Amino acid sequence: MLQSNKKQTIGCVKTVRLTGKNATELLDSVANETPVALVINGEPHVVMMASPDNLEDFAIGFCITENLISSANDIHYLDIIPCDSGLQIHIRFRDQQQTHRQKQRNLTGRTGCGLCGTALIEEAVRNTPVVESDIKVNLRQISKALEVISSNQPVKSKTGAVHAAAWNSVSEDLYVVREDVGIHNALDKLVGSLYLDGKIDPMTGFIVITSRASYEMVTKTAFAGVAVLVAVSAPTSLAIEIAEKSNLTLIGFARDESCVIYTRPERIVRV
């Protein structure tokens, strides 16, 4: 696998800041947003608006959370190629019979949109796997994970314009954080990094996201094999419904020392 031609995630623009009657010209840092086209087995699949970093993670994570592959080893070839208007990620699966699992999206996935370009309702509300796990997470670990994700967002600290997703181990001091202008992309990058690493078992930890918990975030988490999803904002009704059916523990409004558990509370230890 090859990741090349990495673009900068932060740009700089001239601005005018108004404070009362005073106007000051300043240089401001902004998060770069780039069209990223995924071409799978030679066929265009989807164009997502994303931050132009960790794109190998993104491609692998997208394929896993969209149920196109089961592991990073299912990918035979991956190449990232710049084009005039953005980037193309060319992916070829080892097993060409996996092509039948490929669901082409024919529209651009706008920033933060995980379902844009899905042609059929049946493809959007898809069957989500049941997550079997006896993992236990306590409130102290959730509070620490919130601190970890807050202090490991370098692009947000400079621009204020990106989301983040983090995986946190429950048995050791181990975590992984990924940022992106779209929270769905951040989660895909996170999942891809876990599966690409090969030494981390995603089932031994939980995921934190700096956003609401939509249906798509729950589905992606389930396909990643992670049993607990923690969001700093509220979940949607469909997210709660799918989490219940998938045996996934869904938490919202996560704060220091407090949270709201919507499904499968038995995995959360009250200490």
> Domains (ranges, CATH) in the chain?
34-124 (3.10.20.10), 137-269 (3.40.140.10)
What is the structure's pLDDT at 101? 54
CA atoms within 13 A on the CB side of 180: 30
What is the structure's pLDDT at 174? 95
What is the structure's pLDDT at 271? 72
Tell me whether residue 113 is one of the annotated catalytic residues: yes
Within its chain, how far is the Cα of 262 from the centroid?
21
Starting at the edge strand that comes first in sequence, how are the strands of the sheet with 228-231 ordered? 175-180, 163-169, 205-209, 228-231, 249-255, 258-261
Q: Which residues contact 227 (CB under 8 A, 6 or more apart)?
A: 131, 133, 135, 203, 206, 247, 248, 249, 264, 267
What is the structure's pLDDT at 270? 85
What is the structure's pLDDT at 229? 98
Which has the closest alpha carbon to 109: 212, 184, 40, 57?
Answer: 184
What is the structure's pLDDT at 258? 95
DSSP run (H or E) holding 64:
helix 55-65
Q: What is the reported pTM? A: 0.90
What is the structure's pLDDT at 126? 66
How far apart CA 215 and CA 163 sit, in angstroms, is 17
List 24's β-bridge partners, or say none.
17
How far apart CA 154 and CA 160 sit, in angstroms, is 10
Q: What is the dihedral angle through the alpha carbons of 136, 139, 144, 148, rounded to the nearest 10 degrees?
A: 70
Per-residue confidence in pLDDT tens, the chain, 271 aa: 433 344 689 999 999 999 999 999 999 999 999 999 999 999 999 999 999 999 999 999 999 999 999 999 999 999 999 998 999 999 999 986 555 455 555 445 555 555 555 555 555 566 899 999 999 999 999 999 999 999 999 999 999 999 999 999 999 899 999 999 999 999 999 999 999 999 999 999 999 999 999 999 999 999 999 999 999 999 999 999 999 999 999 999 999 989 999 999 999 998 7
How far apart CA 141 and CA 168 sit, in angstroms, is 9
Q: Which of 12, 63, 83, 113 is catalytic?
A: 113
